[in-house]
Chains A and B, each alone.
Chain A
């Protein structure tokens, strides 16, 4: 009994020790993109001051800002900026295929995907949005505690080789972010995106790939295995497969792109040897642009 408790505690501590590192890196990354709260850039109900405008017929007297108006002869109304909280739902591929890096100096794809997603979550929550996961596990909420919960969720690894996107529990007209390598079957992805589009959900697809997956730098007799070990392919001359592999990869990217075009999502590919910051910036801009 004690031993299980001890084990549990030890594992919890191990998990927890990984978790602040992820959080810290995500916050550090987010710190580079401090853009401030993104208001709607128009008058509305909110806390922040937007502008004074001369009083128009129809404005109630209660709205007149007397302090401003007392300086001159005209009466002014104080308008606040219209702010609206948006729900953003994240899906980060937990599949085994993400836990791969071709070089020990590079982060795994899963690591990079989680950092980017969590950093985006940090930014969005600071921007006042509600952020959660797709599916039923963690509905969108606001507040710093949600960041912790997200980080905790991201620390979980999935069993299957190639995970399918979780498209359940999509809130209508929310935003969504899908981060994965999209190396698995694309049909579930297509289904998920269409389902999302049906519900009016717009979003972003970020494909995270390892450099070796983009360049296929292999030679000689090789047995390729998936990370989970469920698939294998043997070749005698790996070098000769290169062009055909790259063609298939390009085809897959093109399909993702066209899928996004159809559903009104945005697509981008990110390589783990590139800087995470550029991907985060793109992601944030893409989300922001979606707000219109």
Chain B
């Protein structure tokens, strides 16, 4: 490649062609422009006329210059100019080249820039004939040196992973390094890792190492935490920098289930701060719907955090049997429940029947004995759908007859009368302690504190099912907690009170843990690895390197302890994992993640993204040449007078110009103007497009027939009718819209309705045609009638009446009393006359409405009666022989009257004054 400053040429010898330009100049000057052949009847008058001088018009110098420039542009373009060509001394070398990529989430943000830098590198290697291999540290595969051209085709398939290279993968990468000597080019993601050192040493042992690092700011988002009713989110950045602002968005389904941005908020980094926090106070319902937080505009898995169940707060309704002991808080049956649940759940208070419609997750009944029939019914329905009813015993329950003889549907077991008291002042024995939890108990594994004692309880009747239903018992084998499943829900009974009256259980930490195990609420903190031992979690959604959620259904499950402890990698991808009754999210960046910039040793060359890119100019120059030749074409046409003929077709040239200029808006206005001019140059009837092609065609033909009739019979000379799309076209130009109704036409948008209403208010008229002969009376029960009612509901339509005998529509041009189309339906509806219109003595007509009726509604299928094809033949046969033709004639007369009514308004109505005027003139 030859270099001229910042410009280089791949084939510089082609530039010799520039020497030919002066010769071309001479040749072009010598050749006159070609003659035009022109049809011209007046040629007779030209015969014998001689030209004054025999020298033809020369091609003007500027046109020649234009052509020479075009040719020069072609020659220079073909010589392959390159702006800022890669300097070869910069990365000289001839051995194989290994590109090592961190390919972690941290490099996803500017992945595109990295790939284009890599592309440039490969192009350079290709020119030098060096084989290249790519090694991704996040997913090392055997190194294979290939020609750079092959690799360049694979670049688009190269993606970053959502995790960071681990010690394992790096050591595997070191093992995979080939035996031969090679230079390395390390595309680092900029994060400091201890594992870099061994790899660096290994690479340096093989050849020169160049490091590429992007100077771009790196942002990361930590998982959301729920504290004191607010969501806390922390954003971090890699390097300290000036103050700036990024936007945090929360995505989730909107109430209709479509993905939407539910919350968007700006987060400001102060200057030199590495992290910034934001508190979001969101309604519980909205919070529950958020399924992803991300930093707006950053494509990286590190900028995404997935909330799991820890953000989802359950709604728990607390209902106590007695609220009469006001002030005795510690004795209140709900006090300990309140204290246990409040931090992690939303509590509802109120009557049972008021709360049920809110569909709480859990209903707690503390010492409630009797439930009314309807309460029971509703509760059962709620249970069937997955509700959880948590009951506590107490004085009332013990004293009542509930579930005594037969098992109450709202109780897990039958109860003995009275319960029992042990270890009290008036009873024998010691207070009982809890027995270890059984194998199939949900409480299995919870440590039992020694100070939990039970002094009173309600006793379960021994039943065949009892053993299955006990999930916790006392040391003497009596049930403490029993459970029964109902549909998808369950009923759990604590055989003690919810306060400390009967036992010390509510005072202990065990109580809270038991409630958690029962999934009464979900824990705010991520469970410990030990808690999840032996469980398997299925990935539901996983993140790729760019932070896009993918379905994880095809990935294998993950052991519970790994899910909590293990580092992210190909086997444990960041994402949302689903367990039996809860989900846990693994996020890329956690508060423990270290974000520090990598400090490379001084002996390593570090490159940035800031070098100017190599830009081939050949394409631009060739495009310039084509542009110049196009101008030359137009200029030549103009010079030889051919453009004049084309001026009539200037629209076409304009369109060509539009093609060159990417300016849709201009073309759009042109189109609009063309429509406006076409619609206003003459009277134009219009019909509304229904989406039914056949019907639209018929409507157009109908209006054509009507237009022709008007043309022949009246002074109204309409142009070709137009089809109107309510959504896009301007209605203001049309005096009359014909709107045939089909059952399946789309309902116009709100904007279209606004346009229609403006149209109706400003004097337009719509002729609605249900085309069903109105067999059921006005709009009542035909499908088209119902559709019309639905369509017209948002329209601003005045009260209607059936056309009265003296309506001006009956006499605007022809005298008519019926308005048939294809059908001779009875009623046609127009705006009602004002109630005070009355017949003046001696006048033939009432002094009727001063305005044009904005709508005419009927079902006679007028378009079919009017329809004529291009040759003027009727398209739809009507009735039999003569009577049909008569009917068609009357239909045309109705159309003529209608258009006359629209165009002349109340002119004919004013004719009633003519006798009075004549009378006055006569005197």
Contact = CB atoms under 8 A, between A and B. Distances in A.
A217 B643 CA distance: 12
A218 B45 CA distance: 14
B247 interface: no
Interface residues of A, number: 45
Contacts of B54: 236
Contact of A226 (B40, B640, B712): B40
Q: Most chain-B CB neighbours within 10 Å: which of A97, A183, A236?
A: A236
A236 B57 contact: yes
A237 interface: yes
B35 A17 contact: no
A220 B57 contact: yes
Interface stretch (A113-121, A241-249, A262-270, A278-286): A241-249
Contact of B45 (A98, A240, A252): A252
Contacts of B871: 17, 20
- Is chain A's interface secondary structure helix, strand, loop, or mixed overall? mixed
Given A17-B871, A103-B648, A236-B57, A218 B641 contact: yes
B95 to A, nearest CB: 67
Interface string A101-113: 0011100010000
B365 to A, nearest CB: 89
A239 to B, nearest CB: 8
Given A224-B43, A226-B41, A245-B46, A219 B51 contact: no
B641 A238 contact: yes
B639 interface: yes
A109 B49 CA distance: 25
B836 interface: no
Nearest to A100: B41
Given A103-B648, A213-B41, A219-B641, A233 B49 contact: yes
- Is chain B's interface secondary structure helix, strand, loop, or mixed overall? loop
B644 A224 contact: no
A218 B872 CA distance: 42
B35 A234 contact: yes
B339 interface: no
Interface in A67-113: 97-98, 100, 103-105, 109
B44 interface: yes
Given A184-B44, A235-B49, A225 B57 contact: no
A223 interface: yes
A288 B39 CA distance: 38
B52 A249 contact: no
A226 B57 contact: no
Interface size class of B (residues with CB under 8 A): 20 to 34
A237 B51 contact: yes
A212 B647 CA distance: 14
A101 B186 CA distance: 75
Contacts of A236: 32, 51, 54-57
B290 to A, nearest CB: 64
B814 interface: no
B44 A220 contact: no
A219 B32 CA distance: 14
A223 B36 contact: yes
A20 B869 CA distance: 14
Given A183-B42, A227-B41, A231-B44, A244 B49 contact: yes
A162 interface: yes
A222 interface: yes
Contacts of A227: 39, 41
Contacts of B358: none
Given A28-B711, A236-B57, A220 B42 contact: no
Contact of A222 (B35, B639, B712): B35
Contacts of B418: none
B51 A235 contact: yes
Contacts of A213: 40-42
Contacts of B712: 28
Given A100-B41, A184-B44, A227-B41, A221 B56 contact: yes
B51 A97 contact: no
B649 to A, nearest CB: 8
B45 A183 contact: yes
Contacts of B33: 220-221
A125 B712 CA distance: 19
Interface of B: 32-47, 49, 51-52, 54-57, 639-642, 644, 648, 711-712, 871-872
29 contacts: A20-B871, A20-B872, A100-B39, A100-B41, A103-B648, A212-B40, A218-B641, A218-B644, A219-B644, A220-B57, A220-B641, A221-B56, A221-B57, A223-B36, A224-B42, A225-B43, A226-B40, A226-B44, A232-B43, A233-B47, A233-B49, A236-B55, A236-B56, A238-B641, A241-B46, A241-B51, A245-B45, A249-B45, A252-B45
Question: Ordered nearest first, which 7 A-B pairs have the shortest CB separation?
Answer: A219-B641, A97-B41, A221-B35, A220-B640, A220-B641, A224-B43, A248-B45
Given A183-B41, A218-B40, A241-B51, 8 more contacts: A184-B44, A219-B644, A220-B35, A223-B38, A226-B44, A233-B46, A234-B35, A240-B51
